[in-house]
Amino acid sequence: MADDQLSLTFAALADPTRRAILARLAEGEATVNDLAEPFEMSLQAVSKHLKVLERAGLISRGRDAQWRPCRLETAPLEGASEWIDRYRARWTDRFDRLEREIGRIRRGQEGHEHG
């Protein structure tokens, strides 16, 4: 797997369990036990997901005595969103041009039918 930030982010987001973990962390900090609660998997399996998210920079883990809260880090998500937005603008422009061309063709066909 590539080590550039965008690749790490998209790879981490590719898994529905990790997306669910991020959605939970969007509500606020949580412990591993809190994050594992809704899933039918071991704490070890959830910890592996957390390591992927941490490596991608999508979460960080604090230390407060014995409590190690996980928290959402938004910078990698913002980077992915910016990348998607750049391409969305291109796609939108292409679809707009295609729609105008289809309209021009239809108007031309209608002119021949009534002529």
pLDDT tens readout for residues 21-77: 999 999 999 999 999 999 998 999 999 999 999 999 999 998 766 778 999 999 999
Q: What is the mean pLDDT of residues 6-22?
A: 96
pLDDT tens readout for residues 73-93: 999 999 999 999 988 888 898
User: N- to C-terminal Cα distance for the chain?
Assistant: 61
Predicted TM-score of the model (pTM): 0.74
**Greatest CA span in the chain, whole angstroms?**
84
User: Is pLDDT larger for residue 93 or for residue 115?
Assistant: 93
pLDDT beyond 80 at 111: no
Q: Helix H segments across the chain?
A: 5-13, 16-25, 32-36, 43-55, 75-114
